[in-house]
Every structure is written in structure tokens, then in C-alpha cells.
Amino acid sequence: MYLTPLDIACYIYCPVLQRKGRTDKIATKLTFTEENIRSAFIQGERNACLKDSIVSPRKLLSVWDKIWWPAIGEKGGISMKEANNISLIASSKFADYCKYDISDWMFPTAGVQAQSENYIGQSILKATVDVVKVDLDGKEKNTILINFDRKGLSLREAAMDPAIKATAYAFYSGKGETVTHMAIDLNENKNNIKITTSTFRPKIMEEIRKMLYHVEYGIRSGIYHVNPYKCQECKICQDFIL
């Protein structure tokens, strides 16, 4: 059986919700603008990986122009003035991203939209991340995972987020390396990006493994129960019909 980080997070949120396949209830959906900005970042990092180079505001803007204008032409309903204003916001985000060390030569891009699998119990955890980078600057082995979203998590929220933990574990080789996850908030209402970093060392990975083992066992064994503390805000199972 294959499980995704979203399955894990959904089961912890409410087992019945996961059983009903309603992972969309806790998933964060990007807007049209944010989705295109995300695509530009991914394509820009892909180009950097293929050309053994790094991203820059100019390179990201070049990619953005190739993605954005055809996209709004196909979608329609966006004026030229609005499209240009959105491009200004996108350029600010690109410039902001390139101020961080992760865009430098010491953090080369190893892959984009990378997928990794790791065994948990009798199931396979499968996760995908937008960008994978290697840390050449640190003394310890460190794999950097980057996901572009709009969750706007705090440091505490990110450190406790089950989907982030499961994603980190899926990319963990078990050889004692550190796995760093960066959630990059692309909220279109803000000019700058927000990066929330979570660092998982081997000791923490062992705790994550134990958590995933119990969740996997619950899903595989059909152990389901309603989470009454979330019912009022969820409202999918108002009649408690399992």
C-alpha cells in the first residue's frame, strides 16, 4: 500500500476524513497567480540544475514571461494592467528568493519535482518535493527540500506539521544525515516570500519513524474514529455516519 504525506496528515487530523478520501479538506490550494509563480520557480531551478548554474532574478523573470503571458491568454479575464501588476509582485518574490543562501553556488540544485519512497510498516511512503538542494557549505551531510505553498506556517507549526515530517522521512536515507525542509509561502497578497525552515536530525527522524509506524498501522488495519474536536470546523461527517 502506498501512502502520501497528505494521507498521514489527514489521518492525524481525523481518521474518518482520511477514510473518506477527503485529503482536499486539509490541502492548501494555490491561486492561479501563485500556481504560475510556483511553476516559474520550479522551471528556473530545473534550468539551473541542467546547466550546472544558479538562479537569479533575471533568469527567473525570463522563465516567468514564457509561462505567465501564455497562461493569461488562455485563461482570459485578466486586464493588461492587472497582468503587469502581478508581474511586478512576481519579480519582487524572485528577487527576494535570490537573496537567500539557497540560491547560491554552495547550495546547488540536485533535482526538481523529485520523488522518493521509504518503507513504513508494511506500506510505502511516497513523497514529492518541488526542489532538492545539496548543502556544500556545512560540515555535516544535509539534504534540503523545498516546497512552494501558501500555508504561511510559523516555525512551531512547521516543526509539528505531520505532512512536513512525513516528507522529510521519505527522503531520509537512514545514514545519519540531516534533512532540512523549507516551506516557501507564495501568498500573492504579499510582495516578499516567507520561508519557514524545519530541521530534522537523526534523533528526530527516529521519533518521526515511530509516529509514522503507528499511523500506517491504523490506516492499514482499518482503525478509524471521529475526531470530535475538529467536527465543527470540518462538517463533512455531521451525521457521524462511518
Residue 59 lies in a domain: yes
133: left (phi over 0), alpha (psi -120 to 50) or beta: beta
Q: Is the pTM of this model over 0.85?
A: yes
Tell me how far apart the alpha carbons of residues 190 and 83 are, in angstroms, rounded to a whole number: 16
- pLDDT of 239 > 70? The answer is no
- pLDDT of 242 > 50? The answer is no
Asked whether residue 116 falls in the same domain as residue 195, the answer is yes
Task: Write out pLDDT tens, residues 119-173.
Answer: 999 999 999 999 999 999 877 899 999 999 999 899 999 999 999 999 999 999 9
Asked whether residue 57 falls in the same domain as residue 163, the answer is no
Collect all residues with Cβ–Cβ distance below 8 Å to 207 and sequence separation of at least 6.
none
Task: Write out pLDDT tens, residues 172-222.
Answer: 999 999 999 999 999 999 999 999 999 999 999 999 999 999 999 999 999
The residue type found at 53 is S
Residue 236 lies in a domain: no
Asked whether residue 36 falls in the same domain as residue 22, the answer is no
Residue 240 lies in a domain: no
State the CB neighbour count (10 A cutoff) for residue 221.
Answer: 9
- pLDDT of 55 > 60? The answer is yes
Tell me what pLDDT residue 107 has. Answer: 95
What is the total count of domains within the chain? 2
Residue 196 lies in a domain: yes
Asked whether residue 68 falls in the same domain as residue 157, the answer is no
Residue 242 lies in a domain: no
Helix (H) or strand (E) holding 143: strand 142-149
Residue 149 lies in a domain: yes
Residue 99 belongs to what domain range?
32-103
